[in-house]
Structures are given as structure tokens and as C-alpha cells.
Amino acid sequence: MATPEANDDPVTFYSNLAIAANPYDLRAPLTRVEKTSSLFYTQLPPEIRANIYLHAMEDLEKEFIIKEDPDWKIANITPFTKILPKVCFMDRRTFYEAVLVYLRRSQIVLEDGGGKTLPKLIAFLSRFPRNEGFDAIREVTFLKAFTSYEFKLKSFNELDKITCQYPDALIGRLSGLKTLRLAFTSFRIAHYDACEVDHVYTKEELSSELNLDGLFEHGPRQLLIVRCTDWEIHPDDPTQHGRWMFDNLISLLKEGFAKHNRNVKVEVQWVSPWLNFSTQ
């Protein structure tokens, strides 16, 4: 068996060795050569295999997008067969290991506020034993605003399908979450009359309207990025904007984490509707 030289990078060495071991399609029967290659690879220390996956994923996109399209589904193998490098498919064990590494290094992006995408993601992560799927995630982004962070009547079993559409149904289970991006629209923090702002909600009203207790109790461990949307009153005149409408919300979020003795940094991102996510 080949061994790395003293000046070799062990991750590169083992990556090349694993790739040369002829990875196969999980749905096809194993040949004798593939069984031998798979046995060798799975005998490597777990941390070496994890580094191999990361090394092979260096050129992949940072974002893993959960699509709002009802025809887009997450399965055990697809869409990962179109994303992950071949080294991740030595056998079923390495495939699941690689998916967890991929989730850990990626930013999970939900195309909506959770209503259509959250049930898909939660169902997929629930397939991993011992909560490993949920524990792997470090960074989550919601591209659109939610109606409420959590559903207050969570004790009713018949409402399970409803509760999984709210962000807390996912975020509350992510023990390793470091960074969370949540979108907030001006239409949820203020009352409009004839397209004009009639009343900006107070912090007390926002707390009742958005149900943010779960966010403060078990939200991100390090950073919350507040993605403010629908604040441009007159897009052609940058001096006319409604950023001031978000003052109470931002203050509420900072005070909420402080009240729960959680050292979470709150940053603000002003999202223009004319820019896509990758440019902001």
C-alpha cells in the first residue's frame, strides 16, 4: 500500500488515493475491486475522511439552496449526486458522512420564509440518526420574510404539518447553528393605509406579532443578520427610504438576546429587491 512521503500533504495524498480507488454508483452492485477499495477507504481515521471530503469540495458553491418549487425534492441521493465529488460515493457509509460534511461547510438557503421549503428540509434531516443531520448545520438563510417565527400551539399533534412551516421548527433543533439570516419586511412591522405608513409597531406589538421568544432562547450562537426588505419608498430617489421603520425591530432583537443572557451579535443588511442574493 502506498504511503505519504514526509513532504506530502496527507489530505491531498489520501484524496488522490481515494479518487483512484474507482468510486461507484451507490445503486450498482459492487465488484471485487470496489469492495477492496471501499474497505481500504473506510479504514482511514474519520477525521482524515472528513478532510478528504472538504478538500474535494473546495470548488463547490458555498450555498445549498432549498428550492421553493414544489417539484424540487430532497432525496437520499438526489440532488447530491449532481453536487458532491465522486470521492463521496465509496459506499453508503461514506455517502452519509460526506453529506454531513457538506451540510456543515455550506450555507443552507431557503428560497422562501419557510412555508414550502422547511417541511422538505426537516423531513430530510430527520432521516439521519441521533439528530446528526440537524447538528451538522452551521449557517442558515431565509430569503423571504416569515409571518411568525413560531406557532404557539405546538402541543397539538394534528398541527405538526403547520408548525413545521415556521422557522423555529428548524432553528430550535440546530444545536450547532452559528449564523442565521432572517428576512423582515416592512409590511410586517408597520401598518399601511392607502400605501402610506400609518403606524410603526412598538417593540411590544412586534413581540406579540412575530413571536420571537424561540429565537432568543435557542437561535444562533454567534450572529443574527437581519435582512430588511421593502424599505425603498422611492427607488429612484435614495433620500426617500423607510429604514427608520426597522428601528424598533432591531432594538427588540438586541434587547431580546441580552435579556436571555446570550452573546449574539445582531447585524443589519438592507436588501434591495433589484439585486439577487449572491450580490448582497
- Within-domain flag for 225: yes
The tens digit of pLDDT for each residue in 13-38 reads 555 555 454 444 444 444 544 455 55
* Residue 119 and residue 126 in contact, taking contact as beta carbons nearer than 8 Å: no
Name the more confident of 167 and 139. Answer: 139
Number of structural domains the chain divides into: 1
Task: Note whether residue 127 is domain-resident.
Answer: no
- Beta strand pairing call for 179-185 and 223-229: parallel
Do the domain assignments include residue 194?
yes
- How far apart, in Å, are the Cα atoms of 214 and each of 78, 168, 223? 32, 6, 15
Is residue 102 assigned to a domain?
A: no
**pLDDT for 241:** 62
Residue 97's closest CA among 60, 46, 131? 46
- Burial degree of 26 (CB within 10 A; 0-12, 13-18, 19+): middle
First to last CA, the chain: 49
Copy the grid coordinates of residue 106: 455550506
Q: Locate cell 481515494: which residue?
A: 18
Looking at residue 33, its pLDDT comes to 44
- Output the CA angle 102-27-87, nearest 5 degrees: 35
Q: Is residue 256 part of a domain?
A: yes
Residue predicted with more confidence, 136 or 6: 136
The cell for 196 is: 402610506
Contact call for residues 13 and 4 (beta carbons, < 8 A): yes
User: 88: closest CA among 122, 145, 42, 150?
Assistant: 42
Dump the DSSP string for 209-229: HHT-HHHHHHS-SSEEEEEEE
Domain of 221? 140-152+165-280
Distance CA 218, CA 258 (A): 13
Within-domain flag for 201: yes
Higher pLDDT, 236 or 172: 172
pLDDT, greater one: 238 or 63: 63
For CA atoms 196, 199, 200, 205, give the dihedral sign.
negative
Has residue 2 been placed in a domain?
no
- Please compute the mean of the pLDDT values over residues 78-96 and round it to a whole number: 78
Q: Which three cell numbers stand for residue 8?
A: 506530502
Dist CA 123 CA 73 (whole Å):
11
Mean per-residue pLDDT, 119-138 = 92
pLDDT given for residue 6 in this prediction:
47
The answer to whether the peptide bond before residue 129 is cis (omega within 30 degrees of 0) is no
The predicted structure's pLDDT at residue 48 = 86
Between 97 and 82, the more confident residue is 97
DSSP designation for 127: T
Look at residue 4 and tell me whether its pLDDT is greater than 80: no
Query: What confidence category does residue 154 fall into, taking pLDDT thresholds of 50, 70 and 90?
Result: very low
pLDDT top residue among 269 and 7:
269
**Contact (CB, 8 A) for 149 and 168:** yes
pLDDT in tens, 206-244: 998 899 999 999 999 999 999 998 776 555 555 556 788
The greatest distance separating any two alpha carbons of the chain, rounded to the nearest whole angstrom, comes to 76
Indicate whether 114 pLDDT > 80. Answer: no
Is the pLDDT score of 10 beyond 70?
no
Question: Nearest-CA neighbor of 178 among 223, 131, 133, 125?
Answer: 223
Q: Can you give the pLDDT at residue 25?
A: 44
Question: How do beta strands 223-229 and 196-200 pair?
Answer: unpaired
Cα-only R_g, the chain: 22
**Phi then psi for 2, rounded to 5 degrees?**
-65, 150
In the predicted model, is pLDDT for residue 11 greater than 70?
A: no
Between 175 and 4, whose confidence is greater? 175
Q: Is the pLDDT of residue 155 over 50?
A: no
Does residue 33 lie in a domain region?
A: no
